[in-house]
Amino acid sequence: MSQKKIHVAVIGATGMVGQQYLSILSGHPWFEVTVLAASAKSAGRTYGEAVRGRWHLEKSVPEEFTGMMVIDALDIKTVKARADLVFSAISLSPDDTIKLEDAYASEGLWVVSNNSAHRNTPDVPMIIPEVNPGHLAVLKDQRRRLGKGAGGIAVKPNCSIQGFVMTLAPLYEAGWVPSNLITTNFQAVSGAGYPGQASLDVIDNCLPLPGEEHKTMTEPLKIFGRVQDGRIVQKEDLRISAHCMRVPVIHGHLSAVSLGFAGETPGMEKVISLWKEWMPLPQSLKLPSAPLQPIHVFSEPDRPQHRLDRDIEKGMAAAAGRLRECSVLDLRYTCLSHNTIRGAAGGAILTAELMTHEGYVTSRR
């Protein structure tokens, strides 16, 4: 780990996820924010001016950022001059996102992205640091593709899968084989950014999210896939079916899961002890943003709940509970995670901490 602080650019700094980045990165022990970037509309204004009237966090704008000048995210030269690492949280079309993130990486920058555009690129690892840290190995081949002097790109998965993927990992690691999973997701309005869904569509309503369902069914297959010949090969023996609904809560995505196993089924006590005792790499390395316990298990029949449990361990832990037998598959339970923290900014920061610890991201200054 570099002794010097890594200089960081937050791209999309004015948005819902960008604001979480700044709140978490304020005072970070390894990373120092040196660039705030957004669209041309915000460029040339101080950050305080750019987010006036649309700051959404309960804590106010961290003081050190209010007077910083926002630049245009397309100004790659300035980003390169001032930063080593880019947190990308912009809302652009997939083609434009890929073009921009590739351009940063080709210039020697490291990119950790919240955008979905690169999630299907086979040599771009899609990382949940507790679950698949070994996938960072493909960065070597990706850098070769991007050209001499390149940095590299890693992405975060969709916020809709964060909770339930964490609950599967300790089961796989202990030798049990989840094979069929059905999830119904209750997803918060902040998942759509700002201004997001029209209030008249979402208040007093549950809104179907077909676009989220495909990601929810396919992204876990990459995360549980294997590294082969410089790319990630998707897992084939896990079938997922998802219903995703936008519900009128501000933060937190909750999954109601039914799970079936190939072969033997672990008993409920076994599952609970595996969840409680799970101590993956970020926890054993004590990375700064790693929650002490990645899964918090509830025994109360009415938990987890969005409002009560999304902020556990500063929004970085998953909350699981209501574990019961399932009369169709084997087990059923619910799990919750904070979509803009663990499912977006916080998860990306933890990924960057892992990449720094592993020696990929270094200070160039």
Instruction: Point out the residues that are catalytic.
Output: 159, 253
Q: How far is the CB of 251 from ligand NAP (least distance, A)?
A: 8
Query: How far is Cα of residue 195 from the mean position of the Cα atoms in its chain?
Result: 21
- Cis status, amide bond into 178, omega within 30 of 0: no
Q: Does 48 bind ligand NAP (CB under 6 A)?
A: no
The span of 170-178, 189-197, 225-233, 240-248 binding ligand NAP (CB under 6 A) equals 189-197
Q: How far is the CB of 74 from ligand NAP (least distance, A)?
A: 6
Q: Does 172 bind ligand NAP (CB under 6 A)?
A: no
Query: How many residues make up the chain in this entry?
Result: 365
Binders in 4-23 for ligand NAP, by CB under 6 A: 12-18
**CB distance 156 to 112 below 8 Å:** yes
Q: Which of 24, 86, 271, 344 binds ligand NAP (CB under 6 A)?
A: 344
Q: How far is the CB of 260 from ligand NAP (least distance, A)?
A: 28
Q: Which of 9, 25, 36, 38 binds ligand NAP (CB under 6 A)?
A: 38
Give 34-94 as a DSSP string.
EEEEE-TTTTTSBHHHHTTT---SSSPPPHHHHTSBEEETT-HHHHHHH-SEEEE-----H
Query: How far is Cα of residue 278 from the mean position of the Cα atoms in its chain?
Result: 19
Binders in 222-261 for ligand NAP, by CB under 6 A: none
Token couple for 357: 């610890």
* Residue 237, Cβ density class (10 Å: 0-12 exposed, 13-18 middle, ≥19 buried): exposed
Please tell me the distance from the alpha carbon of residue 335 to that of residue 323, in angstroms, as a whole number: 10
Nearest to ligand NAP of 216, 265 (CB atom): 216
Per rule CB under 6 A, count of chain residues that contact ligand NAP: 27
Positions touching ligand NAP (CB under 6 A) are 12-18, 38-39, 41-42, 73, 89-92, 114-115, 159, 190-191, 193-194, 339-340, 343-344
